[in-house]
């Protein structure tokens, strides 16, 4: 059964939740005039052959990477990972209108048809972006890893770099499959796998969540599909996680900064997840959650559903000032952690990076950073909730639109949870891939036929019923 939808427009959602999708002309003018405030304090690192890896068509390029092996006549004794991060603080001056707007927006919010960016395009897609073949200011992290991928030491500094290529995940994955990866990242799969093994040793929980999107069909109309999650995405994300862990450990050890935190899931939450995994046909056995998730093919409908349910284990993520009562390790990472690798898209990264630059050079964090930490924390908490709400609204609208013509039809479903007392269940429908509520209480873990009784595009609500008509 192929299900199609009419073209979708997400403008109403942006308006409903007051998500700004453009910038005042005065802000764009200020962004266009902004110059590198730290031009005289940069190392010239333009000789390093960095490359960026992002989704196809991306222009807001936060990170560039280069990896080389070190020593060892019989194989690598270790690795040097060089990671350049866009230096947004170079163009957003303390006290400026640009800073005030970024505090208000908090982060880029990704509507399916157009992102609501944190910074004007003159910065996010221009002078602040690590575009290829042009000189760009950055914050340069250099990591020395041992032969099993663990950190021996690292350094962070301001630098000037010149990316050699703008690569995309589809292309890099194709190169990987034919054995012709760009020389700058030829070791990315090797180091990525070592870092994944390190994550297992830390009991980390790595959620590899594929995207659901609507694509135009050759037959006319639109279809809801699962977008493949390439393994190179996971390897690349390990470099970002490595950076965030080193940043978090640095700030926590020196008693200053901003952490990303997550308390461990409760026994009840983990027990429910294990039951849902079993209902979807997965057997966790005696493995840790992290080890089990590494074995799941996230590109299948059931794998996608499982990864979405894994998010229940990661509820309660927050930001905290180092030294506060809220300070904690990130249970999903297995250590102290900080957001520092996406300053074009997240406000907190710019401020946490400034703290790291100071501490790594035995200096006190800038006063303008310390004065704004509380405002940054408030902004990130508020806009993270907003981003989650908007993302859910967009997904709900998509599902309701795709399913609306099929109200009254029967679908095959897996019963994830069932509550006889409340006469309701949570189900997974593989075609199209949808997690939804169901009236009725069929047996948990069973395979049942259910009826689609509501697909309301105005309320953005989908509801099934059991037993099927």
pLDDT of residue 238: 95
pLDDT of residue 2: 41
pLDDT of residue 202: 84
**Phi, psi dihedrals of residue 68, rounded to the nearest 5°:** -135, 155
* Alpha carbon 269 to its chain's center: 22
Quickly state the pLDDT bin for 3 (edges 50, 70, 90): very low
Nearest to 224 by CA among 240, 213, 216, 236: 213
**Phi, psi dihedrals of residue 12, rounded to the nearest 5°:** -65, -35
Whether 38 and 90 have beta carbons less than 8 Å apart is answered as yes
The DSSP code sequence of 401-438 is HHHGGGTT-EEEEEEEEEETTTTEEEEEETTTTEEEEE
Dist CA 370 CA 363 (whole Å): 13
What's the whole-number average pLDDT of the chain? 90
The answer, yes or no, to whether residue 24 has pLDDT greater than 80, is yes
Quickly state the pLDDT bin for 229 (edges 50, 70, 90): confident
In sequence order, which residues have a C-beta less than 8 Å from that of residue 219 and are 6 or more positions away? 2, 4
Identify the residue whose tokens are 């046909």.
281
Q: In what order do the strands lie in the sheet with 211-216?
A: 4-5, 222-227, 211-216
Out of 3.40.50.1000, 3.40.50.300, 2.40.50.140, 1.10.357.10, select the CATH number for domain 406-465: 2.40.50.140
Dist CA 277 CA 279 (whole Å): 5
- Note the pTM of the prediction, 2 decimals: 0.89
Per-domain residue ranges of the chain:
10-257+335-374, 267-310, 406-465
């Amino acid at each position: 059964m192929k299900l199609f939808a009419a073209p979708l427009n997400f403008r109403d959602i942006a308006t409903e939740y007051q998500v700004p999708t453009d910038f005042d002309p005065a802000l764009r003018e200020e962004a266009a005039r902004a110059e590198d405030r730290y031009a005289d304090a940069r190392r010239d690192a333009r000789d390093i052959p960095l490359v960026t890896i992002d989704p196809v068509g991306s222009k807001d390029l936060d990170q560039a990477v280069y990896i080389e092996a070190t020593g060892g006549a019989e194989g690598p004794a270790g690795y040097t990972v060089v990671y350049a991060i866009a230096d947004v603080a170079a163009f957003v001056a303390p006290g400026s209108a640009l800073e005030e707007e970024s505090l208000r927006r908090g982060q880029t919010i990704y509507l399916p048809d157009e992102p609501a960016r944190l910074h004007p395009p003159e910065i996010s897609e221009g002078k602040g972006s690590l575009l290829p073949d042009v000189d760009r200011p950055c914050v340069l992290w250099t990591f020395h890893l041992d032969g099993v991928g663990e950190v021996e030491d690292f350094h962070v500094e301001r630098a000037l770099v010149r990316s050699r290529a703008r690569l995309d995940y589809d292309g890099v994955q194709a190169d990987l499959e034919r054995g012709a990866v760009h020389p700058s990242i030829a070791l990315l799969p090797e180091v990525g796998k070592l870092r994944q093994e390190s994550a297992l040793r830390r009991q980390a929980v790595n959620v590899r969540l594929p995207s659901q999107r609507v694509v135009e069909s050759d037959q006319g109309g639109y279809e809801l599909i699962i977008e493949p999650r390439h393994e190179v995405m996971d390897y690349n994300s390990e470099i970002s996680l490595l950076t965030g862990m080193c940043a978090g450990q640095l700030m926590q050890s020196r008693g200053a900064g901003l952490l990303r935190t997550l308390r461990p899931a409760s026994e009840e939450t983990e027990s429910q997840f294990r039951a849902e995994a079993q209902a979807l046909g997965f057997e966790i056995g005696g493995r840790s959650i992290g080890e089990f998730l590494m074995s799941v093919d996230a590109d299948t409908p059931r794998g996608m559903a499982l990864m979405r349910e894994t998010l229940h284990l990661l509820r309660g993520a927050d930001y905290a000032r180092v030294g506060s009562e809220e300070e904690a390790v990130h249970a999903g990472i297995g250590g102290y952690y900080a957001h520092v690798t996406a300053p074009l898209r997240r406000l907190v990264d710019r401020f946490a990076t400034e703290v790291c630059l100071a501490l790594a050079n035995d200096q006190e964090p800038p006063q303008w950073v310390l004065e704004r930490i509380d405002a940054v924390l408030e902004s990130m908490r508020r806009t993270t909730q907003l981003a989650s709400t908007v993302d859910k609204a967009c997904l709900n609208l998509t599902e309701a639109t795709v399913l609306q013509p099929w109200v009254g039809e029967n679908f095959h479903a897996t019963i994830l949870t069932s509550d006889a007392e409340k006469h309701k269940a949570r189900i997974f429908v593989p075609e199209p891939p949808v997690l939804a509520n169901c009236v009725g209480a069929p047996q948990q873990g069973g395979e049942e036929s259910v009826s689609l009784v509501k697909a309301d595009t105005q309320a953005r609500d989908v509801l099934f019923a059991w037993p099927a008509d």
